[in-house]
Amino acid sequence: MGSFALVLSSSVVDSVIDVEDLQAFLAEVDPSWLARYAEIIPTTDGLPIDAGWTWNGSAFEPPPNTMTLDEARQVRFAQIDHRTDELISQGFEYTPGSGVMLSLSLEAQNRLTGVLLLKDSPMIGYPIRWNAINDEFYHDVTDATDVVNMYGTAAGTLKARVQSGTQIKNEIRNALTVDAIMAVVDPR
């Protein structure tokens, strides 16, 4: 079940003991003394990770959720943004069905935009070898039409990944309680 730290006067860790030992200790201690001078805090590797746990005489109760709606939303938005970034970092497949994954990093987006702007210029010599994310594969861009198609696939993939996060954020925006916000699942 884990270990707990007994914190006296909210500052000095007296000892770290197993739950069973703590329950036996609490049975011997006057509950009013415990309420006045000690907090039961869950620990990881013996270090306190949260305050406000209480003993109700038969079980530990976690502290009440003290986040505001705005704080809970910001926490969840950050989680969704992180997941969206992970999905974008996976790149996009071009040509579809080829298994060749090209980068969607900001640098790759800038490069692709530059090639798109110059696609009809005589300065562009086709084919252009575009390396995959893993550098094991590549796609040879053969002409201006291929550039436009590659750009469209990249933009469509990027848009879909960003919008998938927006849909989940909308669920969070519409949630009316902290618990409802925290219960929204990101299935991506």
pLDDT digits (tens, 9 = 90+) for 3-49: 444 444 333 334 445 555 655 565 566 555 444 444 544 454 444 44
- pLDDT, one tens digit per residue, over 93-149 is 999 999 999 999 999 999 999 999 999 999 999 999 999 999 999 999 999 999 999
pLDDT per residue as tens digits for the range 62-106: 666 778 899 999 999 999 999 999 999 999 999 999 999 999 999
The packing angle between helices 144-174 and 106-117, to 10°, is 140
60 membership: H or E segment, kind and range: strand 60-61
pTM of the model: 0.64
φ and ψ at residue 118, rounded to 5 degrees:
-105, 10
Measuring CA to CA, which residue among 45, 76, 50 is closest to residue 63? 50
Query: Measured in whole angstroms, how far is the alpha carbon of residue 112 from the centre of its chain?
Result: 28
Q: Are the CB atoms for 161 and 87 separated by under 8 Å? A: yes
What's the chain's average pLDDT? 81
What is the C-alpha to C-alpha distance for residues 86 and 104, in angstroms, rounded to an integer? 11
Radius of gyration of the chain (CA): 27
Please tell me the distance from the alpha carbon of residue 140 to that of residue 132, in angstroms, as a whole number: 11
